[in-house]
Each structure stands twice: as structure tokens, then as C-alpha cells.
Amino acid sequence: MRIVLGVTGGIAAYKAALLLRLMTEEGHEVHVVPTESALNFVGKATWEALSGQPVYTDTFEAVDEVNHVLQGRKADLVLIAPATANALAKAANGLAEDLIGNILLTATVPVVMAPAMHTEMWQNAATQANVVTLRSRGVHIIEPAVGRLTGIDTGKGRLPDPEDIWQQTKDIIHQAHHGSLLRDKHVVVSAGGTREALDPVRFLGNRSSGKQGVALAQAAARAGAQVTLITGSMEVAAPQHDHITVVPIESTRDLLGAVLEYSREKDALIMAAAVADFRPATATDQKIKKDDEHSAPTIILEQTEDVLHTVIQQRAAGQDLPGYVIGFAAETGDANTTPLEYGRAKLQRKGCEMLVVNEVGADKVFGQDENDVTIVFADGRDDLTVQGTKDVVAASIIQELADALN
Ligand code: CTP
């Protein structure tokens, strides 16, 4: 990223030097724009040495490059830390007295300000009104920390630690970027396990918690998509979100019907549901009773419909079903074949665009919060390994989906 780091005139300016280091260490190109008064705290040479870039403070430097317009336009992010009470007031009023003021007026990218000042100044009605104004215009204001201020006094107004500012800033950028990844797209997600009735009170089920499917629905909604979430039995509650419509189902047959109905004319289908492969060939209307001979019934099973494969087949036959279909594969592997090899074979067999391969075992995956997956693609893209919470895995899958759809 190309970042403009605005530094205004407060004692916390020295912390901005550490912030700058964090950003350059992650490979970002940072252009420091201090105000005149900030240079009283940390000099130009420090900023130039740490950023490896020329440093300007005034609008009338590098005029040939129209620097005041250029910097704001070329940047991916404008971050002001520390932002003094005066800097907030100037920004809220749109003053263009120095280079940073000009940049703020030309920037169309996320702007983040990290205020630092004495508690009284922060609490002052004028400052609070400026904060409200700036926030209403989409500027992200990081809350000051509580703690030791310049002198012996303590209170709210301290610049948060550089690591903290940088983390919050990255979250803001992530949100700004991902909030539009799947805008105008409609994604269907299936989650949870199916239940196959044996009689009116018993069923064959599985251990799926529904967590991964729910995380996917939430990640897609956060990315701006409309989501239809088809839920089987789940340990977690279905999410409540403006963009998510929940369709509960029970059996594989229900799931097939719902998927075919709700996926029509949609952009993507993510089959995270754990679908039963077999069901009792005959389900009775009456409860199966014990007899006096201590015998037990024999349950004959039959194969269920393969929902994913049916979608792919019907799509190939010309039905208007999602052009991008993502499957999941829970694999244990065996003596001759690794889980990933089974996954690749399954991707081919099922004919979907992407398959998320989970290695499962006695203690792995079902119901747990952490996940460790390898994503394989039909279009020849390199495999992608993702480790982390189910939210992290979901975010990666949604990112890949967005790349493919856009
Ligand atoms: N799936 C499906 N319908 C089924 C079974 C599975 O749509 N009857 C979907 C799952 O939602 C998942 C993918 O297919 O996205 C792979 O599921 P998995 O159980 O790993 O594969 P199976 O098709 O059951 O293959 P195998 O039994 O050989 O592992």
C-alpha cells in the first residue's frame, strides 16, 4: 500500500516514528507529511531516514508535481497520528493551510485519525463536535487511550500504542475493501447436517456443528452479498443479518429441493453442509417398537441424492444455476492416499469450481472453532492452505470467490 502518514504537532509525534517502522517493515510505501509544529518534536531527517522518502510539509514545495493533489490521489490510505485538537478542528472545517490539510481535501481513500491530547481538550465540546462531524463524513477516528499523559497527569487522551493503531487501521481498511467485494452478488450457502428419518422419532444424523457454513454466510454478507443460508441441524444459531435469509431444511431430499430452488439465477453456491450419503430405504410412519423376543430391526440403507453433483449436472444441461460452485470435502486419507489426493480426485468427480479439503479424524474439525484446510481449484490455480478460526477460513474462501466472480 501507499500510505500518507500525517504527523501533527504533539509530544506523541515520537510514537509515530514507531508506527512508521511497523508499516515499512510490512512492505508499505509511506510518505510522511508532518506539520511545521510537528517538526518541533521530531525532525525531518528522522522521517526521511525511516521512510526512505522525501518529506514535505508545505503546499509550496514540489509544486511542479502538484504534490498537494497528487499525494491524496495516489495514496491508498491517509493516517494522521497523532492528531492534535487543532488538527481535528482544521480537518472538520476543511482548512487547507498546509500540505496535510490539502491532502485531506483531495483524498478519496480511507482516512484514519488517531487523536492525542490532554483529557480536558478531548472532552471539550468543540473537540467532540469536530469528532462527530468528521465521523459523519466517513473519517475513522481511533479512540484515544486512557493513561499517563505528557506530565504527571493521567486520563483519556493518550495516543494508543503504535501496534494498536496499526491493527485498528488494518481492520478499517479490510472492512472498507471487503465491504464491497461481493456487492450486487447473491450467494447461497448450505450449512449444518442433514437428518434422515427412520421413523417419526428417530433419524440418522451427523456431527456437523454448522459453524463453518454460518461463518461463510456472515463473511459473504460482510462482503456486501445477499445471502440465502440453507440450514440443516446446527449447534449454533442461524445469524440474524439484513443480508441473510435463512431457509431451514431437514433431509437430503429437502436440501436438494431448496438448493435447486434458491440457487436459480444466483452467482455462487457454497455447499458447506454435511450431507448424509445414505438414508433408511423405508421410513415408517409409526414408531418402531421393541418386541418380546429381544430382536432388533435390520435397517436397509439406500444412497441419497448427491446435491452438489446434481447442481453441476443440471447447470451443464442448461439450467440457470450458479456459475461458481464450492464444495467441501472431509477426508481422513488412508495407507495409500493422502486426504489432499482424495480431495483433488473429488474436485474432478464433482465438477465444481473450488473444493475446500478438510482433514478429519477423531479429534479434528467437527464442532471445533479452529480449522486447517487446503483449497483446490478446477482452473489450475495453485492450492491455497489456510489455518485459523472458521472465520479466517471463511474470509479466505470469500476472498477467492470474489476474485473469481469479479
Ligand atoms: N455433498 C452433496 N450431497 C451428498 C453428499 C455430499 O451435495 N449426498 C456435498 C457436500 O456438501 C460437500 C461435497 O459434496 O460439499 C463433498 O462431500 P463429502 O461428504 O466429502 O463427499 P461425498 O460425496 O460423500 O464422497 P465420499 O463419500 O466418497 O467421501
Residue with CA at minimum distance from ligand 1 atom 21:
329
Residues 6+ apart with CB under 8 A from 218: 239, 241, 244, 391, 394
pTM (2 d.p.): 0.66
304 CA: nearest ligand 1 atom: 8
Query: Could you tell me which residues come within 8 angstroms of residue 254 by beta carbon, excluding any fewer than 6 positions away?
Result: 194
For residue range 255-269, list pLDDT tens digits in order.
999 999 999 999 999
- First vs last Cα of the chain: how many Å apart? 21
| Spacing, Cα 287 to ligand 1 middle (Å) | 30
- DSSP labels, 351-364: T-SEEEEEE-BTTB
Position in ligand 1 atom list of the atom nearest CA 327: 15
Identify residue 343 by its one-letter amino acid code: G
In the annotation, is 206 catalytic? Answer: yes
For the chain, state the CA radius of gyration.
28
> What spacing in Å lies between the alpha carbon of 198 and ligand 1's midpoint?
21
pLDDT in the model for residue 367 = 64
Ligand 1: residues whose CB is within 6 Å? 252, 271, 273, 275, 277, 304, 306-308, 327-330
Summarize pLDDT for 235-254 with one digit per residue, the tens: 999 998 889 999 999 999 99
pLDDT digits (tens, 9 = 90+) for 182-235: 989 999 999 999 999 999 999 999 999 999 999 999 999 988 899 999 999 999
Find out whether 215 and 394 touch, Cβ atoms under 8 Å.
yes
Residue nearest to atom 18 of ligand 1 (CA): 329
- Choosing from 130, 206, 358, 371, the catalytic residue is 206
Task: Determine the residue of 195, 196, 207, 275 to mutate for testing ligand 1's pocket, defined as the one with the most ligand atoms within 8 A of the Cβ atom.
Answer: 275
Considering only CA atoms, which of 75, 80, 57 is closest in space to residue 7? 80
Each residue's pLDDT tens digit, 269-308:
999 999 999 999 998 999 999 888 888 999 999 999 999 9
Atom 23 of ligand 1: nearest residue by CA position: 306
**Could you tell me the distance, in angstroms and rounded to a whole number, from the CA of residue 375 to the centre of ligand 1?**
16
